[in-house]
Structure 1
Amino acid sequence: MTGTTGETWATDETWFPPCRPVSAPPLVLDADAVQLFCLPHAGAGASAYRDWPDALAPGIEVIPVQLPGRESRHREPARRSAAELVGELTGPLASRAGPDYALFGHSMGALLSYELAHALSALGKPPRHLFVSGLGGPHLPFVGPLLHEKTDAELITAVAAMEGTSAEVLAVPELVELLLPLLRADLTVWETYEPRPRASLRVPVPITALGGRQDPGVGLDRLGAWQELTSAGFRAEVFDGGHFYHHDAPDEVAAVVRRTLLEPSPVR
């Protein structure tokens, strides 16, 4: 694909690694399957979506995104700004995406998905739909403590309270030593994000915002504020659970994605 300044981008497969076991039988996808690029939350990698390809096939092809600094890219330094990550990922994603694709991001991944929707729309290749999960509208004033500035002990306590990292992992010092720098870098991405000017907040893409009813950091008012960031349709879907509600309700979340992308008249 050629960008607006004439540069040619090659697909970078490091961004889109296979996340299903090699021993698993190949997925059978519809010829017109919608691509769904999935971006992970802070501290996580592409494997956060390892169960999604089977759950959403054959109508949807799930393509997890692997960000630098984790899993198969653990030798690379983690990035510390949304602008840097989006700048690096826009080209490979634009090249990998077909004519019919959507974006899904949870927490930090939701922020990156929103900025990618802007960048890809500017290239004349907007996604069909944007799913943002576990994050309030990024144009709202930041609330809460700056976790990336906390001590290691304080950060571990905060992570444990979110219930997104198993107690078994947090009990192993060697794993915590590997996790903390990545988590701190990812939290910096979110906590130092500078919202767009008001005139350029909206994307020409329908948005579905998903969240947990008991998420202490993302109230329903902040989740609903995503409506202000689209010039197309909007819908909010709320589930029982906390910040990682989708771990407890995978079938319900998959049903929302499937209904939105595969029904004859998705939200517009």
Structure 2
Amino acid sequence: MSDTVLFCIPYAGGIAEVTYGKWQKALGENIQVIPLEPAGHGRRMREPFASTIEATALDFLPHIKQAISEGKKYALYAHSMGTLIAYELVKAIIQARLMEPEAMFLSGRLPPNHQYSGPDLHELSDNDLVESLKKVEGSPKDLFVVPALVETFLPIIRSDYRLTETYTFKPPVISICGSIHCFYSDNDSLVNLQDMYEWRHFCRKDFVVHQYSGHHFFINDHYVDICNEIRNALSEAVCI
């Protein structure tokens, strides 16, 4: 059994088990992958949605406590909306005086101290929200042509957008004792390379940016390479 756990947090509208379930094979037996599913998503679809990013983070905290109680080292991976949850989760970990993650692996979003200033997509009509989603490169096209999928996933996406669009950063900046590795795509319309480098203020150890080609959801195309980078980083951090 692995002594290192990688907790993985999904993007807006994402299902953690679907996105990260295939990462276990790519990471190998020395790192245990645990997808963290937000309330209202995937196998937790019957549960009410969380009201805030902070509430989602607190909902995940027992998973961290369990890993620590079992004597395991751990790290966090998060994409897009998930990076806000990961940040608030670290805050909750520190406030609970728990062992901090060895590393954070982040992609697809500005640091949390950048207040969202775009349109309130969560308040759009269903049709307008679908049209907005179609413009995001790499979003699943089947979602928009199958009515049953639209009916299932649109409430999830709307709720997730509400969480991110109403999130307010509360200073000061919390930095982890471990390292941060950021993953960035050169054709991501939602974030640029300079934005990703601002994450360096959120850690006290090594900070690294890994650049890839593709769109906002590049992690689905490059997950094997990303897993290799994660495995290499954790090998140095915890000697797996």
* TM-score (structure 1 length as normaliser): 0.81
Q: State the match for 2:29 in structure 1.
A: 58
Structure 1 residue 92, shift from structure 2 partner: 3.3
Residue deviations 1:184-242 (CA, integer Å, cap 9, x gap): 111111111111213x4323331111121110111111111111222332111111111
Q: State the match for 2:109 in structure 1.
A: 135
Q: State the match for 2:206 in structure 1.
A: 233
Q: State the match for 1:44 in structure 2.
A: 14
Structure 1 residue 32, shift from structure 2 partner: 4.7
CA distance in 1, matches of 2:204, 2:121: 32
CA contact (8 A) 2:181 2:209 kept: yes
For the pair 1:94 / 2:65, whether they are aligned, the reply is yes
More helix by share: 2
Identity %: 31
CA distance in 2, matches of 1:32, 1:156: 41
CA distance in 1, matches of 2:237, 2:109: 28
Q: State the match for 1:189 in structure 2.
A: 163
Aligned pair partner of 1:149 in 115, 119, 123 = 123
CA contact (8 A) 1:210 1:236 kept: yes
Q: State the match for 1:34 in structure 2.
A: 4
Amino acid at match of 2:87: Y
Which structure 2 residue ranges, 5 or more long, are not aligned? none
Structure 1 residue 164, shift from structure 2 partner: 4.3
Please give the secondary structure, in 1, of the residue aligned with 2:112: coil
Amino acid at match of 1:130: M
CA contact (8 A) 2:139 2:217 kept: no
CA contact (8 A) 2:5 2:67 kept: no
For the pair 1:70 / 2:44, whether they are aligned, the reply is no
Aligned pair partner of 1:159 in 102, 122, 133 = 133
CA distance in 1, matches of 2:2, 2:48: 37
Paired residue total: 235
CA distance in 1, matches of 2:2, 2:42: 30
Q: State the match for 1:222 in structure 2.
A: 195
Structure 1 residue 96, shift from structure 2 partner: 3.4
